[in-house]
Amino acid sequence: MTESNPADDLLPTPHTSVAVGEPLVVLTDVDKYFGDLHVLKNINLTVGRGEVVVVIGPSGSGKSTLCRSINRLETIQSGGIMIDGSPLPSEGKALARLRADVGMVFQQFNLFAHKTILENVTLGPVRVRRKSKQEARAHGMELLNRVGVGNQAEKYPAQLSGGQQQRVAIARALAMDPKVILFDEPTSALDPEMINEVLDVMIQLAQQGMTMIVVTHEMGFARTAADRVVFMADGEILEEAAPEAFFTSPTTARAKDFLSKILTH
Please state the closest distance from residue 128 (CB atom) to Mg ion, in A: 26
- Report the distance separating Cα 176 and Cα 137, nearest Å: 12
Integer Cα distance of 143 and 140 in angstroms = 5
Please identify which residue in 11, 24, 27, 39 interacts with ligand ATP, judged by CB under 6 A.
Answer: 39
The residue among 72, 69, 6, 82 whose CA lies nearest residue 39 is: 69
Burial tier of 87 (Cβ tally within 10 Å: 0-12, 13-18, 19+): exposed
Please give the Cα distance from 256 to 254 (Å, whole number).
6
**62 vs 148, beta carbon nearer ligand ATP:** 62
Cα distance between residue 174 and residue 178, in whole Å:
6
| Interface mask toward ligand ATP for 64-83; x: CB under 6 A | xx------------------
Helices (H), 155-211: 162-175, 192-207
Residues 67 and 45: beta-carbon distance below 8 Å: no
Binding-site partner at residue 139 among Mg ion, ligand ATP, none, CB < 5 to 8 Å by type: none
Residues contacting Mg ion: total by CB under 5 A: 1
Contact status: 120 vs Mg ion (CB under 5 A): no
Sites for ligand ATP among residues 8-27 (CB under 6 A): none
- Does 187 sit near Mg ion (CB under 5 A)? no
Considering the rule CB under 6 A, would residue 166 count as an interface residue with ligand ATP? Answer: no
Choosing from 61, 64, 187, 211, the residue that interacts with Mg ion (CB under 5 A) is: 64
| Residue span binding ligand ATP (CB under 6 A) among the ranges 22-30, 31-39, 139-147, 237-245 | 31-39
Residues that bind ligand ATP (CB under 6 A): 34, 37, 39, 57, 59-65
